[in-house]
A and B are shown apart, each in its own frame.
Chain A
Amino acid sequence: MRPSRVPLIVTWSVIAFFYIPIAILVANSFNSSRFGGSWESTSLKWYIRLMDEPSIWHALTNTLVIAASATLISMVLGTSAAFALHRFAGSRLQKLHYSIIYTPLVLPEILMGLSMLLFFVALKVQLGLATIAIAHVTFCLSYVAMTVLARLQDFDFSIIEAAQDLGAGWWTTVWKVLLPMLAPGILAGGLLAFTLSIDDFVISFFVAGPGSTTLPIKIYSMIKYGAPPLINALSTILLAITFLCVIASQYLSDRGRRGAA
């Protein structure tokens, strides 16, 4: 019997469905017409206009400061969490620990955003870059923990025993053996955290204060009230950056997998 062609057709249609809107957006960023209903002429004018928008550069700086700090903190907390979950798997504390790490991954962002806003308002904390960064650590932590945990699954713990048999202390083992071997996983988790932080709109919007506009908040207000062609150009730049990041992270995790095998 001939295998069905349905899966093949569905798969490639879905992939077309994924990329057609993105391709049109990128194409339109080079179109001088406002809505892209017709092609006027190829131009870079939207990119040039983008360069003269100081508010975008300000928002970009905010986004990068938040993403860098949230990534670093969540890498430390997430790695330690993954280690605890793996090393002490099965204990009652770890079951609880796992649920509290897993739940933020599925909960709608708006619930996290509003609950953290209420928390900061109740404590009378001034909203700003710091509150956004704290909120980002809270959801990035879970992603880092899960990524590192997945790498720990195929980690060969006999290497640790070998190090200890050879006289390495606990600290030396962690610092010289465990961390370097887990580095690709931790980096992949960090890259994921960084991307999620840069991209986050909903949670940031809830806990942002005056003057702490991030790039997604800026893009949102441009979509709601501003000039579409400028967003086309900005989106194309962002797409190019993300595609590079994804390819880099794929490369890192592949190396990590092969290194562990």
Chain B
Amino acid sequence: MKAEARVKLSEWLVTLPSFVWLLVLFLVPTVLVFAITFKPATPYGGIGEGWTLDTLRTLGNPNYPAIVWRTVWLSIAATALCILLATPMGYYMARVSPSRRRLVLLLVILPFWTSFLVRIFAWKVLLHPEGMLKHALVSLGLISPETSLLYNAYAVLLVMVYTELPFAILPIYAASEKFDFRLIEAAKDLGASSFRAFRSVFLPGIRVGLLTAFLMVFIPSLGSYVIPDIVGGPTSEMIGNKIAQRTFVDRNLPHAAGLSALLTVAVLVPMVAITALRRKENPRSALIEEGV
């Protein structure tokens, strides 16, 4: 009994520092976002006294449904494209020689570690009206000189895929590496075509990796803010842009909190669903285990 109590005490001792830190600086602020939604704003950008439903009423703003819809479709499209590209990559990386695999892995991790803003900026330079790509496409006669490659929803989607692809590749690769490729041989021996074997044996086999990839790409996508801000225009704004606008331009914190509360709920739904789906399989983040 006494030894048991000592074990319990040492568990609390090593758990408390990180637990308390995250409780105070992560959980409490997240709950606060919901509370501040019901507070009035002060003219100086602060939070007023008392309670109000003002923010909830402004959420009925007719511009919002279009922005919410755009946020959702851009995130779904980015996630689908990332998984579509990452799956054959995971397959390839799991099958090649270890030295080639290490090289590909390093090449995938490098951009993942480079400055996020720099990577977005690289695309702004490339797609710029006076940039290289525009010149090349115009001189090949593929686009008219008036076409803008920047400041539209497709530019946002392209850069979202560019920055988020490593988050899909790493978990899918981690799952593919554990996959037993003899199962594919067996399927082929039994008469399945390569594609059939890939679809009916390989894809279910890397299910955990696909789910993690979905989570790692879809959820951060919903909160995109810098990408639409830099390569998007007024017609490609997402919820994140509105949150930033309310915070920095209008200085209306309760309003920003209301939008954040909405986004938090939108993010929690797929997160809880996926966590429930893979609970029995592999609770550890494949990305962290294999990637870095």
Q: Is B267 interfacial (CB 8 A cutoff)?
A: yes
Interface hits, B1-56 → A, CB 8 Å: 11-12, 14-15, 17-19, 21-23, 25-30, 32-33, 36, 46-47
Q: Is the interface of A mostly helix, strand, loop or mixed?
A: helix
Interface hits, B141-164 → A, CB 8 Å: 162
Q: Is B119 interfacial (CB 8 A cutoff)?
A: yes
B11 & A93 in contact (Cβ 8 Å cutoff): yes
- B123 nearest in chain A by CB position: A21
Task: Report how many residues on chain B are interfacial, defined by Cβ distance under 8 Å.
Answer: 90
Report the separation of the CA atoms of residues A104 and B19 in the bound assembly, to the nearest whole angstrom: 13
Query: Which residues of A lie under 8 Å from residue B162 when comparing CB positions?
Result: 17-18, 21
B256 & A97 in contact (Cβ 8 Å cutoff): no
User: Which of the residues B21, B88, B128 comes within 8 Å of A141, measured between beta carbons?
Assistant: B21
Q: Is B183 interfacial (CB 8 A cutoff)?
A: no
A14 & B89 in contact (Cβ 8 Å cutoff): yes
With contacts A76-B17, A77-B18 taken as known, whether A37 is within 8 angstroms of B135 at the C-beta atoms is: yes
- A22 nearest in chain B by CB position: B122
B119 & A22 in contact (Cβ 8 Å cutoff): yes
With contacts A8-B92, A21-B119, A232-B125 taken as known, whether A81 is within 8 angstroms of B257 at the C-beta atoms is: no
Interface hits, B92-147 → A, CB 8 Å: 92-93, 95, 104, 106-111, 113-126, 128, 130-132, 134-135
With contacts A108-B219, A108-B222 taken as known, whether A35 is within 8 angstroms of B26 at the C-beta atoms is: no
Give the Cβ gap from B253 to chain A, nearest Cβ, in Å.
6
| Chain A interface size range | 35 or more
Query: Which residues of B lie under 8 Å from residue A24 when comparing CB positions?
Result: 122, 125-126, 132
Q: Is B208 interfacial (CB 8 A cutoff)?
A: no
B132 & A112 in contact (Cβ 8 Å cutoff): no
Contact with B along A1-43 (1 / 0, CB 8 A): 1011011101100110111111011001000001111100000
Report the separation of the CA atoms of residues A216 and B165 in the bound assembly, to the nearest whole angstrom: 22
Report the separation of the CA atoms of residues A26 and B263 in the bound assembly, to the nearest whole angstrom: 36
Count CB-based A-B contacts (< 8 Å): 273
Query: Which residues of A lie under 8 Å from residue B18 when comparing CB positions?
Result: 77-78, 80-81, 84, 97, 101, 141, 145
B110 & A243 in contact (Cβ 8 Å cutoff): yes
B36 & A239 in contact (Cβ 8 Å cutoff): no
B226 & A202 in contact (Cβ 8 Å cutoff): yes
A77 & B21 in contact (Cβ 8 Å cutoff): yes
User: Which of the residues B21, B111, B135, B271 comes within 8 Å of A19, measured between beta carbons?
Assistant: B111
Most chain A beta-carbon neighbours within 10 Å: one of B116, B118, B260: B118
Known: A146-B289, A147-B288. 20 other contacts (CB 8 A): A11-B89, A80-B18, A84-B11, A98-B283, A104-B26, A105-B288, A108-B263, A111-B264, A114-B247, A115-B260, A118-B33, A118-B253, A122-B32, A122-B47, A153-B289, A202-B226, A216-B116, A216-B117, A223-B230, A242-B114
The 5 closest A-B CB pairs, nearest first, are: A108-B223, A81-B18, A7-B92, A115-B29, A146-B288
Subset of 19 A-B contacts with CB under 8 Å:
A4-B195, A6-B88, A15-B107, A19-B111, A25-B122, A35-B128, A36-B131, A80-B17, A109-B223, A115-B32, A115-B260, A118-B29, A118-B47, A119-B29, A134-B25, A137-B21, A206-B247, A216-B117, A242-B113
